Amino acid sequence: MARLFIAVWPPENVLAELARLNLDEIAGIRPVRPETWHITMRFLGNAESDDVRQALAGARLAPAHARLGPGLAVIAGRVLAVSVAGLDALAATVTDLTAGIGKPARQPFRGHLTLARVKAPTLDIGNVVFSGHFDVKEIALVASRTEADGAHYQTIDTWPVG
């Protein structure tokens, strides 16, 4: 078993725009490494990758268009993120298809891309604004492992969207 989640990896052009936010200049946060930036469709926890592959085999995933922004927000006092709209239906389909695998969802899907962990009890992100969009081409089954320098992700399999 591995710690798994299903995600959308943003395309390189969106990642490059996000990298221009200069997160190192915001006091009170610990930026996550850009190579880990993703949008989680469903967190599975410890699960078997073969069970997920079987659940998603032959799945018809409707087209989806992700819209990021227009700004940043602090979620649950712990995460600095950019909101992502347009993926609710895709996340619902993924959740339905993988029902019974891994952990049940603790809360409804909330589209976001985590940029940093919040260290300070209050955080002033000022007028940091970001907006972007892209057509989702695929979803990915990702394995996660935590090391001293943070989370490391490996894509195990992908399924086309649209």
Average pLDDT value for the chain:
93
Q: Are 64 and 136 in contact (CB under 8 A)?
A: yes
Q: How far apart are CA 152 and CA 35, in angstroms?
A: 9
Q: According to the model, what pLDDT value does residue 22 have?
A: 84
Q: How far apart are CA 69 and CA 57, in angstroms?
A: 32
Report percent pLDDT > 90 for the chain.
Answer: 74
Q: What pTM value is reported for the model?
A: 0.93
Convert the pLDDT of each residue in 9-67 to its tens digit: 999 999 999 999 988 888 889 999 999 999 999 999 999 999 999 999 999 999 999 99
Instruction: Check whether 85 has a pLDDT greater than 90.
Output: yes
Closest C-alpha among 129, 11, 31, 6 to residue 73:
129
Instruction: Check whether 122 has a pLDDT greater than 80.
Output: no
Q: Are 40 and 6 in contact (CB under 8 A)?
A: yes
Q: How far apart are CA 157 and CA 54, in angstroms?
A: 11
